[in-house]
């Protein structure tokens, strides 16, 4: 891990946070006690979904200051978050949730996306893309791309759209950018990645050093490999760029911002992908957070979460047009 940081100084400092808050230290302890212990059991998708549903119920927060409607986005079920003000903003966040391609925690993700909307003065679309194992690759990839096309069809300009995603959703963010470029459509203003999974090669996963697995408070190789096996049909090339965007061509991508914890098992997924983006001439920034759990901005009680969200909003606002005049709500 240290070699990657030394060879690849894409952040303005090695770590964003000089110190680790007591809230983060306590959260890491709880993750090891409850989440990682659950992950260490033989993987069962039904039990995993039940566990995730309980976590979502306990830790997710209700969004009361935004309207949330179910919409059909080109055949993709999605949640449309809009402000409750009389004027609707032109800006929109297209957010792809994580969950190993096989689960979704709507309360948790709606709360995070609502925070971004408030600070950025934006609406948001959160697709309920089809999940494995019922709908393996390429269902989720296609759904995410169709949701972007739907926004364009609704009259939103590409330069007013930000795509963001975490973990598996970070993977889908990068694959969606590939499909947008290859289809000749206008690219979004920018994209934000939170602890993205960029390499679905089980061979590469198993080759990671054992000490990386031991320091990660949440993830292990066994559970990640099980989710990949649910997501990918047999006899498929796991290094296909639309499966593992680490192996994609990054030419023509919009500006990228990436946040990752220094002790994450899949830290190199972020570092290597951002290096590839920079090598392709893309404006890309990697922010490394010392001792933060996987997708730490989801944990609203962490000071580091609030700081990361502010950094994300600053980045998004920087790449959106200055003349985002509001339009009357129809």
Residue 328 lies in a domain: no
Contact, 253 vs 277, CB < 8 A? yes
Residue among 147, 167, 195, 270 flagged as catalytic = 167
Q: Is residue 222 part of a domain?
A: yes
Specify if 327 maps to a domain.
no
Residues 254-291: pLDDT tens digits? 999 999 999 999 999 999 999 999 999 999 999 999 99
**pLDDT class for 151, splitting at 50, 70, 90?**
very high
Whether 147 is a known active-site residue: answer no
> In this predicted structure, what is the pLDDT of residue 326?
42
Tell me the range of 25-39, 41-55, 264-278 where mean pLDDT is highest.
264-278
Structural domain boundaries enclosing 275:
2-322
Number of domains the chain contains? 1
- In our burial notation (b when 16+ CB lie closer than 10 A, e otherwise), range 36-67 reads bebbeeebebeebbebbbebbeeebeebeebe
Host H or E run for residue 239: none
Which residue is it, tokens 């709908």?
135
On whether residue 122 sits in a domain, the answer given is: yes
Q: Which pLDDT score is estimated for 60? A: 65
**Domain contains 36:** yes
Query: For the domain that residue 313 is a member of, what is the CATH number?
Result: 3.40.50.1820
E-assigned strands of 231-283? 256-261
User: Among residues of the chain, what percentage have pLDDT more than 70?
Assistant: 92
Residues 229 and 242: their CA atoms lie apart, in Å, by 16
- Each residue's pLDDT tens digit, 1-31: 333 444 444 444 579 998 999 999 999 999 9
């Amino acid at each position: 891990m240290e070699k990657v940081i030394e060879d690849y100084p894409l952040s303005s400092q090695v770590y964003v946070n000089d110190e680790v808050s007591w809230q983060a230290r306590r959260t890491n302890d709880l993750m090891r006690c409850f989440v990682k212990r659950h992950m260490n059991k033989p993987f069962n998708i039904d039990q995993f979904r039940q566990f995730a549903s309980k976590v979502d119920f306990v830790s997710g927060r209700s969004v009361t200051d935004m309207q949330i409607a179910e919409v059909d986005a080109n055949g993709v079920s999605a949640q449309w978050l809009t402000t409750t003000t009389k004027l609707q903003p032109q800006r929109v966040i297209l957010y792809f949730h994580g969950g190993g391609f096989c689960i979704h925690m709507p309360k948790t993700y709606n709360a995070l996306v609502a925070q971004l909307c408030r600070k950025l003065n934006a609406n948001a679309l959160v697709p309920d893309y089809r999940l494995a194992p019922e709908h393996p690759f390429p269902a989720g990839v296609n759904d995410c791309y169709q949701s972007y096309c739907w926004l364009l069809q609704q009259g939103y300009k590409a330069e007013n759209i930000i795509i963001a995603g975490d973990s598996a959703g970070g993977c889908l963010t990068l694959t969606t950018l590939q499909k947008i470029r290859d289809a000749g459509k206008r690219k979004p203003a920018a994209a934000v990645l939170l602890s993205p999974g960029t390499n679905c090669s089980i061979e590469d996963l198993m080759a990671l050093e054992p000490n990386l697995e031991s320091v990660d408070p949440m993830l292990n190789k066994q559970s990640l490999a099980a989710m990949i096996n649910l997501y990918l049909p047999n006899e498929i090339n796991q290094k296909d760029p639309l499966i593992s965007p680490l192996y994609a061509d990054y030419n023509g991508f919009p500006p990228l911002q990436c946040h990752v914890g220094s002790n994450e098992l899949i830290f190199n997924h972020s570092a290597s992908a951002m290096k590839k983006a920079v090598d392709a001439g893309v404006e890309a920034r990697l922010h490394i957070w010392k001792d933060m759990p996987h997708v730490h901005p989801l944990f609203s009680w962490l000071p580091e979460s609030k700081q990361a969200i502010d950094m994300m909003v600053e980045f998004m606002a920087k790449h959106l047009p200055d003349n985002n005049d509001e339009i009357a709500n129809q």
